[in-house]
Amino acid sequence: MVILLTNDDGINAAGLQVLKRELRKTAEVWVVAPDRERSAASHALTLRQPLKSKKVGEREISVAGTPTDCVILGVKGILGEKPDMVISGLNHGPNLGDDVFYSGTVAAAMEGTLLEIPSMAFSIVAKQDFEFENVSICTLLIQLISKYGLPKDTLLNVNIPNVPRTEIAGARVTVLGKRIYRGTTSEKRKVNGHSTYSIGGELSWERKGGTDFSAIEEKMLSITPLHLDLTNYSFFKKLRGIEKEFEEIL
C-alpha cells in the first residue's frame, strides 16, 4: 500500500513522526506536510504565490503551505499518481463536532476525498502529554478500511481518547456533536487607537448520546463518517416548492 501522510501541526510534530514510523512497518509512506504549524487553516489553498518545498528525509518533503496544498502537491506533483490512501494526523488535540469546519487535519482528508482517494483523519483528544502508544490503532483501522473501502465523497474522522491502550473501553461509530462556545473573543489592549483581540474561551458540548463527544467521554474510540455533500435535502424539497416565487422576484 502507498500512503500519503500529512498533518496541520507541521512536519516535525511528534504525532506525525510517530505515525510515519508506525505506518512504514507495513506500507510505503510518503510524507508531504507543512513546514510549520498550520492548525485551524481549514481548507485554505495557496493561489497567489509559489509553493516552496524541501526534501528533509527519505520520501519526506516539507512545504511552505497549508495541509490542503500538501495533499494536492503530493498527489499531483511529488508522487505523480494517486496513492492508495491519504492519512492526516496524528493531530495534537481533538477534532470533534464543529472542529471539523476549522481543522486543517480534517481538511487534508477532505482534499484527498475530493481527489477520489480513500482518506482518514486521526486526532488524539488531549492538550498535552499525548499517549502516542495508541498509534497502532491507526494502522488497524487503515487495514480495515482498506479491506472494506469507503463510499464516494466520504472520509473518516477518528478521535482517540488520550488514555493508555488498556483503558480504551471500545470503539463507536458516531455523529458529529455540537460545541458550546462561551467568551470566544476578548479585548487585550488598545494601541494607537486600535483594539487587539484574541479568539478563545471556555468550551463545552451538548450532552447528547451517540456523538463523538460522548464516545470520548466514555473513553471510546470515535469514528465519524463525514460526507462532502453539504446539501440539506429535506429543505431542498421545500425550496423547490416556492421556486416560482424566486423567479418572480427576478
Structural domain spans, the chain: 2-176+208-248
Decide if 10 contacts 32 (C-beta within 8 A).
no
**Region 2-176+208-248: CATH code:** 3.40.1210.10
Residue entry with cell 487503515: 142
How many Å apart are CA 156 and CA 64, to the nearest integer? 26
Which residues lie across from 63 on neighbouring strands? 34, 53
- Burial of residue 219, with CB atoms counted within 10 A of its CB: 0-12 exposed, 13-18 middle, 19 or more buried: middle
Backbone φ and ψ for 171, nearest 5 degrees, come out as: -130, 145
C-alpha cell at 55: 526534501
- pTM assigned to the model: 0.92
How many Å apart are CA 156 and CA 88, to the nearest integer? 10
How many Å apart are CA 215 and CA 226, to the nearest integer? 16
Exposure string of 101-116, with b = 16+ CB inside 10 Å and e = fewer, is eebbbbbbbbbbbbbe
Exposure string of 205-215, with b = 16+ CB inside 10 Å and e = fewer, is beeeeebbbbb
How many Å apart are CA 174 and CA 210, to the nearest integer? 6
Counted residue by residue, the chain has a size of 250
Per-residue pLDDT of the chain (250 residues; tens, 9 = 90+): 999 999 999 999 999 999 999 999 999 999 999 999 999 999 999 999 999 999 999 999 999 999 999 999 999 999 989 999 999 999 999 999 999 999 999 999 999 999 999 999 999 999 888 889 899 999 999 999 999 999 999 999 999 999 999 999 999 999 999 987 665 666 666 777 778 877 766 567 778 889 999 999 999 999 999 999 999 999 998 999 898 888 888 8
Give the ranges where 90-195 is alpha helix by DSSP (H): 104-114, 136-148
Which DSSP letter does residue 165 get?
A: G
